[in-house]
Structure 1
Amino acid sequence: MDMTQQLTHEEARRQAKVIVDQMTIDEKIGQIKYEAPAIDRLNIPEYNYWNEALHGVARAGVATVFPQAIGLAATFDDHLINEIADVIGTEVRAKYNEFTKHEDRDIYKGLTFWSPNVNIFRDPRWGRGHETYGEDPFLTSKFGVAFIKGLQGQAKYLKLAATAKHFAVHSGPEGLRHGFDAVVSDKDLYETYLPAFKAAVEEADVESIMTAYNAVDGVPASVSEMLLKDILHDKWSFEGHVVSDYMAPEDVHENHKYTKDAAETMGLAIKAGLNLVAGHIEQSLHEALDRDLVTEEEITNAVISLYATRVRLGMFANDNEYDAIPYEANDTKAHNNLSELAAEKSFVLLKNDGVLPLRKETMEAIAVVGPNAHSEIALLGNYFGTPSRSYTILEGIQERLGDDVRVHYSNGSGLFQDHAAEPLAKADERESEAVIAAEHSDVIVVVLGLDSTIEGEEGDAGNSQGAGDKPNLSLPGRQRQLLERLLAVGKPVVVLLASGSSLQLDGLENHPNLRAIMQIWYPGARGGLAVADVLFGAVSPSGKLPVTFYKNTDNLPAFEDYNMAGRTYRYMTDEALYPFGYGLTYSSVALSDLQVKSYEDTATVTATIQNIGNFDTDEVVQVYVKDLESEFAVPNAQLKGFKRVYLGKGAKQTITFDLRPQDFEVFDAQGRNFIDSDRFEISVGVSQPDARSIALTGVQPLQTELSLAGSQTTH
């Protein structure tokens, strides 16, 4: 259905006002809390705004569990994530329709979803980075828009109401977030931290925005007029509602010490543009009214914004097509197959010395070892639902091999604890079993990394290393020692890294027996099957890194420093271990026939890619733009286009990219954006145009210089 047929914000506010005008002031204040009580005299049921759908319907029982957000970003396939979000919306409606029939309106059972997380993964130590779409504002914007559009749908009523979070400048440290002040320049603010939110509002018409815990330049986000009024409403014309992160309003006076008490906090928050309190101080609005810190009209407008969302969701309508979605539409075979496909596309092959794909006809036994080899939590990331059936890496390999190849298993070590099984034993008590399994096998598959118990959100992650953040990029616990012992066996070793962020193997990457490394993220409930299919060549890996894999954190700025200098592929000067945009396949490609034509302040880029290898594969063609003149340009080339294409053996495809004016813009010290140059370097390839990526892939990107006043062609 065409987007123009959607119920408009204006009409929704008109209908909402009719409802809200019937409420008393006490009832209005009650509605400003996330768990809004029923108003029986108006036949309004209770409603809980808190729901999660980061990579599937979360915390509401059985649902399809897709790969974690960072893994979805690694697909570089915004069409796929749009399809996934649409499926999530269908499963939500299937469950919601049944829950409401049973008058179950509890938390996680509504239609307003606090997803996606479009913050920038600026520092690899941040524990919640795996909830995001990576370190690049362009990629994050594209994925955020596609996900939001998929969740919200295109019918008369919204399928779901999506929420872009956390607004703004939010990316750790987790342990400091309740009182942290993110000091940021206007240039970094508008160049890096805001673009994904701007795109969510202006391109996806996101229904909701969530404020962050932290302050920005001294003002807590939940009471920031600069963020909520000047930027969100005045500059971007946002028409939805604004919700706080959970207990963030309490932080304003309790941790930031920005206000004296809850009444002052609530007065400032409502005036700034906050509509919904995820917390417990909404009743302080009574005192705020008495002290003239807020007006009843301002409270009324906040509630109208909330009810406009409920109107747009069709919650008071009798012609909502989504009401007919049956319970059987949840957790279907097709949805789980889509999850498996997404996982296959997300895996990033970092190294392959000819060992992959494995050929089961040449082996009698395979060792599958490591703390994440048979771990369900390593499949799921955080904010996940309950899979009706999950396949660990071990189970996926066993399923695909059947009785053809013997599978030897040992966990080898704990994930980060010294002891894997017996607390009275020595720290290395499981390593010998893993070595024995390796000695009796032809190939060793080692599944290492992290999971959300040690890499995640403050309050959820159980590690003592930093409230969910990582202290460094090394493998935790005894995982390195386990890997060293397995490498010493002398058999080919394949390392699978399950994590939501960059790791490094402390130099073991170059060990002659370490024949392949693949980043598998947190691959969802069907992750084990997807891993097995890629390992044994049913499908080629084709993911690309949405984050930089640094060699170490030694040269990174302090975690608390939000200045972008030296961070991410756009600003870093050091060589990466594995660069943003990098990822191998089982095949080889050749690029040719680059043509770039400019039309005033836009350009069209075309290039041809051919599969010259012996394996059918997907490949991701990437376009990077580097400003060659402006003093305000970022130091390195920036991603400005990507397309995933399927190439059978020998197949050739010509791809076209349209570059917009904003793809050539820079931001000055005041955050103003404009085109400041006539000369740009355009690169088209399967990676960044940096020396490290070229050395790793063996593919030289096509490059030419573009003048916006003319056109250039190279071959």
Structure 2
Amino acid sequence: MTTAAARTALFALLLAAVGVAQAQDASARAKALVAQMTLTEKVAQLQNDAPAIPRLGVPAYDWWNEGLHGDARNGHATVFPQAIGLAASWDAPLLEAVGTAISVEARAKFNAVGAGHAHARYQGLTIWSPNINIDRDPRWGRGQETYGEDPTLTGRLAVAFVRGIQGDDPRHPRAIATPKHFVAHSGPEPGRDSFDAKVTPHDLEDSYLPAFRATVVEGGAGSLMCSYNALNGVPMCANAALLNTRLRKDWGFKGYVVSDCDAVGDIAAFHHYKPDDAQAAAAALRAGTDLDCGHTYASLAKSVQQGVAAESALDTALLRLFTARYRLGELGGGDDPYAHIGASEIDSPVHRALALRAAQESLVLLKNAQDMLPLRPGLRLAVIGPDADTLETLEANYHGTARASVTPLQGLRTRFGADRVSYAQGAPVAAGVPIPVPETALRTASGAVGLSGAYYADTDFRGTPQLTRTDRVIDFDWDRVAPAAGLDAGHYAVRWSGELLPPGSGDYVLAVHVDRCFDCEAHDAVRLYLDGKPVLVDAGDDKNMQAKLHFADARPHALRLELLHRSRDQGVRLQWLAPAAAQLAEVDRTLRAADAVIAFVGLSPDVEGEALKIDVPGFDGGDRTDLALPAPQRALLERAAASGKPLIVVLMSGGAVALDWAQQHADAILAAWYPGQAGGTAIAQALAGDINPGGRLPVTFYRSVHDLPPFASYAMVGRTYRYFRGTPLYPFGYGLSYTHFAYAAPTLSASALKAGGTLQVSAELRNAGSRAGDEVVQAYLNVPPSPQAPRHVLVGFQRVHLAPGESRRVDFILSARDVSSVDAAGTRVVEPGRYRVFIGGGQPGDAAGVAIPFTIDGRGVLAP
């Protein structure tokens, strides 16, 4: 060892020793504090909205914060692509950078309040992300929150994200990440509080546990969230076999476990596993659930009195919780290495650039017939589709408020010139689901596009408006932010006025959507007038938020909308359902002068998501019953194709959509997911060829629900690329490029390996095309045949950027766990026999690549 290396090693040892000492100090301080608490105080501290204990100098702290793809629900923040879009990047370093940015912005908001002071919900440093459930079925509406269907991809992206959130100082994390929902939680959304997932030992170890293990063992996650569902009859938040034995004993987890919200209450109320809250709370505490998101743990005093819970069990949970608070510096005192992080870090230029990079890397090119893309310069473009110009399809769910989001329509106008881009909405996302009224249907009194907005500092429109401006559309996210400078974020009113221009005669629905805060007593009121008459008057109870109207022609109608903001409601949208014939006729008019058509179709957070109140064809409570593109959008695409103009389809969704018709008839298809605040810019750059799309699918795109097992079945047979035997529309790992890559010269560190050994596999990658581009190099393993063996399994991946003609050697190190398999009893083993590793740009048989065989001698059993 060199002198410099010795010094480095010594410094690392000293740093580790200091870290251990400081961790012990945090634990000792927590132990001393808990010892001074009364039983009543202890019980209160085990609930997410923990109150202050003034006599002990403990400030109030709400443990609930969110950061799935940006610091969420607490005002302005950088909004990155939804998690499934981040996963499509196949770029672990990117995920770490995104996690870092999220925790930096969370720290900035925490510091604005200050250590040692009360922190309300969404102001803390305990971030309930990432969602690493396996997206086993595309019908699940929350699949968009995950990193896809594969345990290896999910695990490695999650480890990177957790490291980004927590930072590189385990003694004093920047924030604490909370992987969720542990475990086997992936729909259906209706009935999730009482659902019992039946999972075999093989599937549990093979599919559902690996990503969680990785975040704990490799990522050092400081927290974990137990899920609503039961597993084989035992509610997860009362599952001692997994929370205490597997998590804490086998994996060495030292952090705390928090329940999903009201999941502890579900133990009695929905699972009927225990007769009442006192026994449900006791069961969860004994099993290892330290913190209750909810108030069922308020019954723990009764549990102790009844003898079903020991006070020492409360102390154990509190020790874990207060150790975390001391490590974070949340209680104040001592040096704070993050005290310098201020408001300037929120949506900083560096973070905005990262959001653009993430959006660029998330794009997946699915089809490009005759090299239709990139678009040649000078084309006149017709932009159509329900996802072309809506904020909600940028921000998705669990999001912050973007300061300056760019929709696809805006991005295309900026890149190609507004005079060369025409627009028609064309259709709703789904039949019966209102969509924001487009700019083409709104005019001010002076003839400008949009409505005139008058913004008042009070809620009764007294005096002179604080601000007047023209708003192009009424589609705003104002969650805990003021709509303009000089206004109070919690107290204002807005009056919009102008004209509504229906595209044709027929029956319309006008609607006002207010994003309601789910836990507040008061709500915003809205009033909508048409031709001077009230058509919607809502005092905040959502009972009359839609009005059915008939227009005999396309004559303009005077429109006035009033919003009285007096609650924590989060924004407003003026929406409609317009007659299909009128919207398609408008599309025809738009297409006439165009050289090419870009259709933005797919889904939206209004139809897929968490526990949604929606019941329209194809959708059920946030889940889907059909994978096909909804019928109104299919009709829109067919109308566009009938024009004979080249058709480029951009899919915006959180889940896989069966684009069978588009695959046959469109000239090009680009998957853009829910791409975050910079999504419109990234999409325009990709279509123009300023960037080369290089993302890959993190999920299988099936052709139909008929290809899938029953949604409620948690058996993995017939699911995901590993066990699906049919032919998908687009396979997992698939994606095209504007260039092409070649692979050669695969090598192994050994052709024969002893069980338990490590293997290096390498291949030469070359950009054989004329454009610079990113290749996602994927390594897949075929294991010896067995009844449980998957078709093949991803064991590694790297995203590599190469200039034209450039070559690079790509290396993968495969550990014993990487080459292991799982038997029927759920034991992970390295089996003897002949193996094969494939390195390429997709799965074996789907993409260019090279393969090389090797053998393993002996058999090894791995620890859980």
**Does 2:576 match 1:437?**
no
* Cα separation, 1, equivalents of 2:374 and 2:798: 28
Distance 1:413 1:104, change over 3 A: farther
Q: How far apart, CA to CA, are the structure 2 residues paired with 1:389 and 1:470?
A: 31
Contact 2:614 2:620 in 1 (8 A): no
RMSD of aligned alpha carbons: 1.8
In structure 1, the residue matched to 2:263 is 248
Q: Who is 1:588 aligned against? A: 740
2:644 matched to which residue of 1? Answer: 490
8 Å contact from structure 2 (residues 60, 118) kept in 1: no
What secondary structure is seen at the aligned counterpart in 2 of 1:664?
coil
Instruction: State the Cα deviation string for residues 114-153 of structure 1 (Å, max 9, x = none).
Output: 0000100000100000100000000010011000011000
Cα contact 1:629–1:677 (8 A) shared by 2 = no
Aligned partner (choices 179, 184, 190) of residue 205 of structure 2: 190
CA distance in 1, matches of 2:27, 2:788: 42
184 and 38 in structure 1: CA distance in 2 versus 1, 3 angstrom threshold = same
Cα distance in 2 for partners of 1:370, 1:100 equals 46
Superposed structure 1 runs of 4+ greater than 6 Å apart: 460-464
**In structure 2, the residue corresponding to 1:444 is in which secondary structure?**
strand
Match of 1:621 among 755, 777, 795: 777
- In the aligned structure 2, how far is the partner of 1:231 from the partner of 1:429? 60
Judged with a 3 Å threshold, the aligned counterparts in structure 2 of structure 1 residues 272 and 320 are, in CA distance, closer, same or farther, namely same
Aligned equivalents of 1:196 and 1:708: distance in 2? 25
Task: Name the SS of the counterpart of 2:580 in structure 1.
Answer: coil
1:579 aligns with 2:727: no
Counterparts of 1:537-686 in structure 2, within 5 Å, are: 537-598=689-750, 599-600=753-754, 601-634=757-790, 636-686=791-841
Q: Which runs of 5+ in 1 are unaligned?
A: 711-715
Q: CA deviation at 1:233?
A: 1.2
The question of 1:164 aligning with 2:179 is answered yes
- Residues 506-517 of structure 1: matches in 2 within 5 Å? 506-511=660-665, 514-517=666-669
More displaced 10-residue stretch of structure 1: 457-466 or 369-378: 457-466
Report the TM-score, using the length of structure 1 for normalisation. 0.95
Which of 353, 362, 376 aligns to 1:337? It is 353
Match among 83, 101, 118 for residue 132 of structure 2? 118
What is the SS of the residue equivalent to 1:643? strand
* Counterpart code for 2:640: L
Equivalent-residue separation in structure 2 for 1:122 and 1:591 (angstroms): 31
Contact 1:173–1:469 (CA<8 Å) still a contact in 2? yes
Describe how 1:282-301 pairs up with structure 2 within 5 A. 282-301=297-316
1:502 corresponds to which of 615, 631, 656: 656
**1:220 maps to which residue?**
235
Hey, what's the Cα distance between the residues in 1 that align with 2:255 and 2:42?
Answer: 18
AA partner of residue 682 (structure 2): A
Cα distance between partner residues in 2 of 1:614 and 1:260: 69
> Secondary structure of the residue that 1:595 maps to in structure 2?
strand
Among residues 198, 213, 231, which one is paired with 2:246 in the alignment? 231
| Alpha carbons of structure 1 residues 304 and 381: separation in structure 2 relative to 1, 3 Å | same
Q: What runs of 5+ residues in structure 2 fail to find an aligned partner?
A: 1-10, 438-507, 510-549, 551-577, 859-864
1:325 maps to 2:341: yes
Equivalent pairs, count: 698
**How far apart, CA to CA, are the structure 1 residues paired with 2:581 and 2:833?**
61
Structure 1 vs Structure 2: percent identity of aligned residues? 40
Give the corresponding residue for 2:100.
86
Given that 1:214 and 1:220 are in contact with CA atoms closer than 8 Å, whether structure 2 keeps it comes out as yes
Q: CA deviation at 1:493?
A: 0.4
Given that residues 196 and 233 in structure 2 are in contact (C-alpha distance below 8 angstroms), is that contact kept between their aligned partners in structure 1? yes
User: Kindly tell me: are residues 10 and 195 of structure 1, through their superposed partners in 2, closer, same or farther at Cα, counting changes over 3 Å?
Assistant: farther
Match for 2:352: what amino acid?
N
Matches within 5 A, 1:458-469: 458-459=611-612, 465-469=619-623
Cα deviation code 1:447-504 (max 9, x no counterpart): 0011111110014778682111011111125010011100111010000000111101
Matched-pair contact (CA < 8 Å) for 1:202–1:236 = yes
After superposition, the C-alpha distances for 1:483-532 in whole angstroms (9 at most, x for unaligned) are 11001110100000001111012433111xx1000110000001000000
The CA deviation at 1:544 is 0.3
> Following the alignment from structure 2 to structure 1, what is the Cα–Cα distance between the partners of residues 427 and 116?
46
Confirm or deny that 1:47 pairs with 2:61.
Answer: yes
Q: Per the alignment, do residues 630 and 55 of structure 1 end up closer, same or farther by CA in structure 2, a change over 3 Å counting? A: same
Find the aligned partners of 1:570 and 1:76 in 2 and give their Cα distance: 18
CA positional deviation for 1:631 = 4.5
Pick from 672, 678, 686 the counterpart of residue 526 of structure 1.
678
Instruction: Indicate conservation of the 8 Å contact 1:629/1:679, yes or no.
Output: no
Deviation, 1:275, is 0.6
Instruction: Name the structure where strand makes up a greater proportion of residues.
Output: 2
Deviations 1:177-210 (A, max 9, x none): 1000000000000110000111111111111110
Determine whether 1:71 maps to 2:85: yes
2-side partners of 1:344 and 1:661: how far apart? 35
The secondary structure found in structure 1 opposite 2:415 is helix
Q: 1:590 is aligned with what amino acid? A: A
Q: CA 1:483/1:58 → structure 2, altered by over 3 Å: closer, same or farther?
A: same
1:361-400 alignment runs, 5 A limit: 361-363=377-379, 365-400=380-415
Answer yes or no: is the 8 Å Cα contact 1:453–1:460 preserved in 2: no
Per-residue deviation, 1:6:
4.0
Look up the equivalent residue of 1:63 and give its one-letter code: A
Partner residue, 2:427: 413
Structure 2: distance between partners of 1:470 and 1:9: 46
**Letter of the aligned partner of 1:288 in structure 2?**
S
Q: TM-score, normalization: structure 2?
A: 0.79
1:77-102 per-position Cα deviation (integer Å, ceiling 9, x unaligned)? 00111011111111111111003389
Residue of structure 2 in register with 1:708 after alignment: 856
Distance 1:460 1:198, change over 3 A: farther
When structure 1 is superposed on structure 2, of 542-551 and 281-290 the one drifting more is 281-290
Cα deviation digits, residues 52-84 of structure 1 (max 9, x gap):
000010001000000011111111100111011
Q: Which amino acid aligns with 1:505?
A: L
Q: Take 2:427 and 2:718, find their aligned partners in 1: how far apart are those partners? A: 35
Q: In 2, are the aligned partners of 1:602 and 1:708 still within 8 Å (CA)?
A: no
Report how far residue 621 of structure 1 moved.
0.7
Mapped to 2, the partners of 1:370 and 1:6 lie a distance apart of 55
CA distance 1:653–1:276, shift in 2 (3 Å): same
Kept after mapping to 1: 8 A contact 2:116/2:330? no
Q: Structure 1's 539 and 344: CA in aligned 2 closer, same or farther, altered over 3 A?
A: same
TM-superposed CA distance for 1:359, in Å, is 3.8
> 2:628 & 2:415 partners in 1: Cα distance?
31
| 1:347 paired residue number | 363
Report the Cα distance in structure 2 between the residues aligned to 1:428 and 1:268, rounded to whole angstroms: 59
